[in-house]
Amino acid sequence: MRWTARTYLFALLAFVVACAILCTSAPALADEQLAPTDQVETDADATETTASNEATSTDAKDSTAKKKKEPPPPKEYLVHYDPNGGEGYMEDSVFIEKNPAPLTRCTFTRIGYTFEGWNTAPDGTGTSLADAVDVRDLLSDAGLTVYAQWGSQIYVIRYTSGVPTQDTSQVSGSMQSQLVVHDAEVALKDCAFERVGYTPKCWVDQNGAQHEFGEHGVNYSTATDTRSWELATIENGIPDEGKEGHWSCQGSVVFAGDDGSLCAAMAFYFAGSGYSKGSLDNYDSMIKVVNLDTGEELKSKRGLMLEHANDIAYRPDNKHFYVAQGGINEGYPDGIVELDENLEEVRTVTPEGTHNIWNLSYSDGHFYAIGNVNGDSFARGNPNGEKSDLIVLDDDLNLIELHAVNYSLQGFSGQGMVCDGSFLYSILMNFGEHEAVTKQRLAIFTLEGEARGTQRIDIQKEVESASTLDGRMYFSTNGGSQGTIYGTDLASATMSVVWEANPYQIAFDEGGFPATDMPEAVDTHYDEEVALPTEPPACPGYDFVAWTENADGSGQSFAPGETVHNLAESGTVTLYAQWRRVQVPFVSDNGSMTDTSSIEPEPEAPAPRSAPKHLAQMLALCTAVVLLGAQKRLHGDRGTVPCVP
């Protein structure tokens, strides 16, 4: 074979390729010959590492997938409570997005004001919010601040004589109370009371501060907390009898028991399913009386002929209860049912020309009722309207007068009513209003039915009835088969008269005789004891007997040094000296002696002072003495002459 150039070229190329192959594979072969086991493990590790990496990659993918599926954490929103002029502290509320967000009930207080609710603006121009309302729709990242809204309280200024009850027989006159808005200027009244022996000086309030009659000022009330508090819950105690219907707690009255304890009478009625349609099937009613201080049940009576029993009045002098009837259904009373102290029915009275009596209160010998009058009444109202009739009755339920009552609040109707002797307080509620129990009102009227204003009730339950005792107001709420009694101190001020005892003078008169050593006049005051002068005056030929109220000796008489009081209401009172002739013994011609002390003075008034008359009396006395001396000389000493006292 002949090698050509082409042949050499192919051979060289083949040699280069073979060398390259040998260089690449020689280290692997050497490793395989030296450590075949290690190489196997390394391959396994490589396989495991690959699997691990694949697993890690899968987990990462799964984790990423999970993060994409989970929603972001919910937002938290802050609500801040601003007292807006009130006092106190409330923790901020933190609410979670889309969850219920009820406001915390207000615990702020403000003297002279009632909490009216919240608002998103301090001046009340923002969104109005009721207490404890859900505000989730108002929450934002910026947070929410709610401002307490305050309404001025109405307070009563009462005027009293300031005289203890046991001494009021000496006092006359009466004064109406004043109803005043907090922070509003008011002129105090002039005193209309009169007291024997005294002059009114000024007023003194419940804190001892004195005020002039007719003074102008503000905020005489010092009530700092008028919030209501729970006293007791009364259960009707009737077990479930399987009847279709429901119990309802209605009228109540709080009164003082015989031992002075706080007691309450509460009415309940059971309405069957057809009651609203006029059916009285399964209808029942009862009254329960309890001692609020001890919780003891005093008495109860079931099955009374009471329809709705809207309100109860109590008359302390006869201990009777008077129940106002709604009279909605035919066959049941719509007037006033009188029950004795044992809850036995005495009578049913429908005052002439009236019907549907649903509010009733007793005060100072009068019953005050709200209801309707037949025919062309003053108000032509009804229980669900804004106007009704105020019916004034005497203590025997006889009609005295009628007045129209205008609640002045559209949609509100009366629940219960109470009279404190100066004003009428009626509970108002608008049953068609959202969250009606948060907006209940206490309307205040004069005894002639004239509206004086309203005040919010802070109880968050349906208030049915009201009572007043010793300046405190009591409310009762409807809880079905139970009722709760609340107490509240309404803002008020009391002005009592400061009296000054009148000064007067005790003067002394000789009683028509030329007396000497007459005492000086004595200055004293009414209701002040003073002693008369101990030394009596003197008058020749006469003995001093006593001082008397009248010159003729009539009236009360007083001895020298005697303690006296209240001889006059004012000015000057004069006491007159009373005299008795000196007792001189007289000897008759036959020698017998007569004691002139047995000779009564002439009844006529003392003779007027005249020199001749007094001179004649002196001459007669001298003559008697001379004759007595002559008698002794003629007859000798026949005994001792009696000593004339």
51-97 pLDDT, tens digit per residue, is: 455 545 555 555 555 556 787 888 999 999 999 999 999 999 999 99
CB 126 within 8 A of CB 84: no
Residue 643 domain flag: no
| Residue 207 and residue 144 in one domain | no
| Residue 261 and residue 343 in one domain | yes
| Residue 272 and residue 342 in one domain | yes
The pLDDT value given to residue 491 = 80
Q: Residue 304: is its pLDDT beyond 90?
A: no
Domain that holds residue 113: 76-150
Q: Residue 552: is its pLDDT beyond 60?
A: yes
User: Alpha carbon of 477 to those of 6, 166, 314, 486: distances in Å?
Assistant: 125, 38, 19, 8
Residue 641 domain flag: no
Q: How far, in Å, CA of 436 to CA of 392, rounded? A: 30
Give the count of beta carbons closer than 10 Å to the beta carbon of residue 126: 15
Residue 139 domain flag: yes
| Residue 303 and residue 373 in one domain | yes
Q: Give me 626's structure tokens.
A: 């001379």
Residue 566 domain flag: yes
CB 519 within 8 A of CB 533: yes
User: Alpha carbon of 92 to those of 80, 97, 99, 116, 130: distances in Å?
Assistant: 5, 16, 17, 20, 17
Distance separating the N- and C-terminal Cα atoms of the chain: 208
Residue 192 domain flag: yes
| Residue 194 and residue 288 in one domain | no
- Nearest residue to 284 (alpha-carbon basis) of 322, 245, 228, 252: 245
- Nearest residue to 213 (alpha-carbon basis) of 584, 610, 498, 640: 498
* Residue 454: half-sphere exposure toward Cβ, Cα within 13 Å: 19
CATH code for the domain in which residue 565 is found: 2.60.40.4270
* Residue 594: half-sphere exposure toward Cβ, Cα within 13 Å: 9
Q: Give me 219's structure tokens.
A: 């905020």
The last residue of a domain, from among 94, 129, 150: 150
- Nearest residue to 465 (alpha-carbon basis) of 641, 314, 351: 314
CB 236 within 8 A of CB 451: no
Maximum pairwise Cα distance, the chain: 234
The pLDDT value given to residue 223 = 62
The pLDDT value given to residue 182 = 85
| Residue 288 and residue 396 in one domain | yes
Lowest mean pLDDT among 318-327, 408-417, 492-501: 408-417
| Ramachandran angles phi, psi of 38, nearest 5° | -60, -35
CB 520 within 8 A of CB 530: no
| Residue 590 and residue 622 in one domain | yes
| Residue 257 and residue 360 in one domain | yes
| Residue 615 and residue 481 in one domain | no
pTM for this predicted structure: 0.63
The last residue of a domain, from among 496, 528, 563: 496
Residue 367 domain flag: yes
Residue 613 pLDDT level (bands cut at 50, 70, 90)? very low
Give the count of beta carbons closer than 10 Å to the beta carbon of residue 372: 22
The pLDDT value given to residue 386 = 43
| Residue 271 and residue 363 in one domain | yes
Q: What angle do CA 234, 491, 217 make, to 5 degrees?
A: 175
Cα-Cα-Cα-Cα torsion 211, 212, 217, 221, nearest 10 degrees, comes to 30
Lowest mean pLDDT among 33-47, 94-108, 253-267, 399-413: 33-47
Q: Give me 287's structure tokens.
A: 């009254």
Q: How far, in Å, CA of 284 to CA of 129, rounded? A: 40
Pairing between β-strand 171-172 and β-strand 503-509 as defined by DSSP bridges: unpaired
Q: How far, in Å, CA of 424 to CA of 368, rounded? A: 8
Please give the order of strands across the beta sheet that includes 345-349: 311-315, 320-324, 336-339, 345-349
| Residue 50 and residue 94 in one domain | no
Residue corresponding to tokens 């009862």: 286
CB 140 within 8 A of CB 476: no
The last residue of a domain, from among 129, 150, 171: 150
Residue 541 domain flag: yes
Residue 352 pLDDT level (bands cut at 50, 70, 90)? confident
**Can you tell me the mean pLDDT for 290-319?**
91
Residue 424 domain flag: yes
Residue 125 pLDDT level (bands cut at 50, 70, 90)? very high
| Residue 98 and residue 47 in one domain | no
Q: How far, in Å, CA of 418 to CA of 463, rounded? A: 13
Q: How many domains does the chain have?
A: 5
